[in-house]
Amino acid sequence: MMLMRYLANLNKARLILWCYFIWYLVVLVRYFDANVRLWMTSLGLSAIIGVALYISTTASGKGAVKLGTWQTIRLFMMPFCVSSFSALVKGKGFVLIFSPNPMEILVAMGICAVLCGTVFALKHKMLPKMSDTRVERERV
């Protein structure tokens, strides 16, 4: 039930981030490389760039900005995913982020479409019930 509520409340920006992550996972599964050096380099870049992103988002304005836990995690996770993605697809014929194998593209797009369809369906099924519950609580 918690997963359904999470999906029903997922905004467009986070849904897009989930689709990016799905794309990454499809490539990761297909082109996984057990080379420790690849993963250590990605972790190192993630730490260096993540710290820079954290500093730039929390201390770049007049006042300090407080980030949530998942926002902070994403600041470190994104550089990790980008650097490892790049290393995994090097020399594999990718054009930008697109595999030379159309089936891999269709798999990633299909999983994203299922996620988006599920979110859409849950929003239309659950949100009216949740708002009815909120109205009911306000009456009491």
Q: Please provide the DSSP assignment of 29-56 as one string.
A: HHH----HHHHHHHHHHHHHHHHHHHHH
For 68-124, the pLDDT digits (tens) are: 999 999 999 999 999 999 999 999 999 999 999 999 999 999 999 999 999 999 988
User: Quick one: which of 38, 8, 30 has its CA closest to 133?
Assistant: 8
Name the band, by pLDDT with cuts 50, 70 and 90, for residue 128: low
For 47-82, the pLDDT digits (tens) are: 999 999 999 999 877 778 889 999 999 999 999 999
- Looking at residue 59, what is its pLDDT? 87
For 5-22, the pLDDT digits (tens) are: 999 999 999 999 999 999
How far, in Å, CA of 75 to CA of 70, rounded?
9
Domain borders along the chain are 2-139
